[in-house]
Chain A
Amino acid sequence: MKLDKRTVLVHRHAAIVRITHWVNAICLGFLLPSGLQIFNAWPSLYWGQYGADADPALLSIAGFPAWLTLPSFQDLAAGRRWHLFFAWVFVINGLVYLAYSLWSGHLRRDLVPRNAELAPRHLWREIVDHARLRFPKGEEARRYNVLQKLSYAGVALVLLPLMVLTGLTMSPGMNAAAPFLLDLFGGRQSARTIHFISAALVVLFVLVHLAMVLLSGVWNNLRSMITGRYAIQESHHD
């Protein structure tokens, strides 16, 4: 594994991006299973302002298996303690990331797709390449490809903020402080349903993200998210 002459290490991830990435990962590791614990206390979802026994439910299940929840037995009080503690860490960490991304240009430079990248032909080629597990090499690997940009921006700017806002909409205290949240999501029970759907999408993202990390060079990817350095093959030496 000695680096050959054509392999160079480029500085890929800034320290703040790396730190907030791992803090975020830890938060999700606690928020998702404690969220399932809370869901299991009333495993039905509704639309609108109210929803209970006799009201028509969108979804009603027996609940998730205990081993998926935190704690691993029925304990709503403890589940809430874990969830609401890591919700704070998650929000503060997310604000640090967003402030840095705006201020440093990370958002504009690395995450917002260029017009040419959004051309249908280019998008289609990227999708086909990904499906064939052919990942960008050389100079192209210096930057995120457009599918990475779209999914990272979608998660960081839409999905995770949506989790926070729908979570806050379930809070009667926040409803008094910011009543527009109830109107934005169409009621507390709608917000609870959207919170659950968003969480499912976060899980989907994490699964695809982990698969891509594994398939496109796990050690190189891991190193770049820990030390910041990412190995690429310099194409002009070919």
Chain B
Amino acid sequence: MTDTRFTRRRFLLGGALGAGTALLAGCDIAVQDTVTGRVLDKAEDLTRSAQRLLQGRHALAREYTEADISPHFRVNGTSMPDSDAYANLLGNRFADWRLQVDGMVARPRAFSLAALKLMPARTQITRHDCVEGWSAIGKWTGVPLADLLRITGVLPGARYAVFHCADELEKTLDGSGRYYESIDLVDAFHPQTILAYGMNGKDLSVGHGAPLRLRIERQLGYKQAKYLMRIQLVDSLHDLWGGKGGYWEDRGYEWYAGI
């Protein structure tokens, strides 16, 4: 009698362990665009709603002092865009570079670097958190994106600002390896969201995204698009490349990168 029970228990235990192993092996399936993936994605919506509720619109990221600045700020992603067009812009010290602002704006415009530098600037010492886990603190100087959008005006119905970059992180025939990012208008009009042309008191270096990069301080590093060429206001992200709103988002990372 005891033996039978023992065997049955062993069988149940074995079954449970086996099911557990199969379950974990099942977790190796791609999480993107599957039922599992869609369930897991719910957490992203929940995180965004919860953080927005707790932050309100204007809660600021921590700003540090000069003494806190990282002695060495890691260069990540592209360190030098590999194209003739960029080489030419760099060769001319970005005199011919223009930031195109278009899409759902009232007055599309192109801004030269000199024009941006003439606008009121904001300087902030903030922490850059890479999704990989490291952090670095730097001092950024640039134009608040809100000021730029007030010049161009934002049309009703626009929901996102999309940032098109000069660098291709992955070489593809269709150009889908080009870096891009997007944020919603809450973050676009946040006071610490700036288009930075200066870092640690100098012009932005090529490694860190010259001539202009985005700083959006309440989200992770991959949102801080470098080598900005164009800002496009849109009502939906679906028609852009992979449709997820960014280079890394198209490759499985969360669009809301507040955590």
Interface residues of A (CB under 8 A from B): 1, 29-30, 33, 38-39, 41-42, 44, 46, 49-55, 70-73, 75-78, 80-82, 84-85, 87-88, 168, 170-179, 182, 188-189, 192, 219
Contacts and interface: CB of A to CB of B under 8 A. Distances in A.
Contacts of A46: 134
A92 B39 CA distance: 16
B22 interface: no
A172 B220 contact: yes
Interface stretch (B88-96, B100-108, B123-131, B205-213): B123-131
12 contacts: A50-B136, A52-B74, A75-B252, A80-B253, A81-B252, A85-B39, A170-B129, A171-B258, A173-B259, A176-B61, A178-B54, A188-B135
Contact of B43 (A29, A88, A171): A88
B79 interface: no
Interface stretch (B64-72, B109-117, B141-149, B231-239): B64-72
Contact of A51 (B54, B134, B253): B134
Nearest to A88: B43
B253 A70 contact: no
B59 A54 contact: no
A49 to B, nearest CB: 6
B254 interface: yes
A178 B50 CA distance: 12
Contact of B28 (A41, A42, A71, A174): A71
A31 to B, nearest CB: 12
A75 B132 CA distance: 11
Secondary structure class of chain B's binding surface, majority of residues? loop
The bracket for how many chain B residues form the interface is 35 or more
A182 B135 CA distance: 13
B139 interface: no
B55 A177 contact: yes
Contacts of B64: 49
A174 B46 contact: no
B37 A81 contact: yes
A173 B220 CA distance: 9
Given A82-B40, A172-B219, A173-B218, A39 B133 contact: yes
Nearest to B137: A50
Contacts of B30: 78
A51 B132 contact: no
Contacts, number: 143
A85 B259 contact: no
Interface stretch (B1-9, B152-160, B166-174, B193-201): B1-9
A176 B131 contact: no
Contact of A54 (B43, B71, B135): B71
B24 A70 contact: yes
Nearest to B55: A177
A53 B220 contact: no
B72 A175 contact: no
A44 B68 CA distance: 20
A84 B259 contact: yes
Contacts of B60: 176
Contact of A77 (B51, B137, B252): B252
Given A49-B127, A52-B136, A174 B2 contact: no
B77 to A, nearest CB: 14
A54 B72 contact: yes
Nearest to A30: B27
B57 to A, nearest CB: 11
Contacts of A50: 68, 70, 127, 134-137
B219 A173 contact: yes
Best-surrounded residue of B54, B131, B133, B219 (most CB of chain A within 10 A): B133
A45 to B, nearest CB: 9
Contact of B9 (A72, A84, A176, A219): A219
Nearest to A189: B135
A153 B253 CA distance: 36
Given A172-B258, A173-B218, A192 B24 contact: no
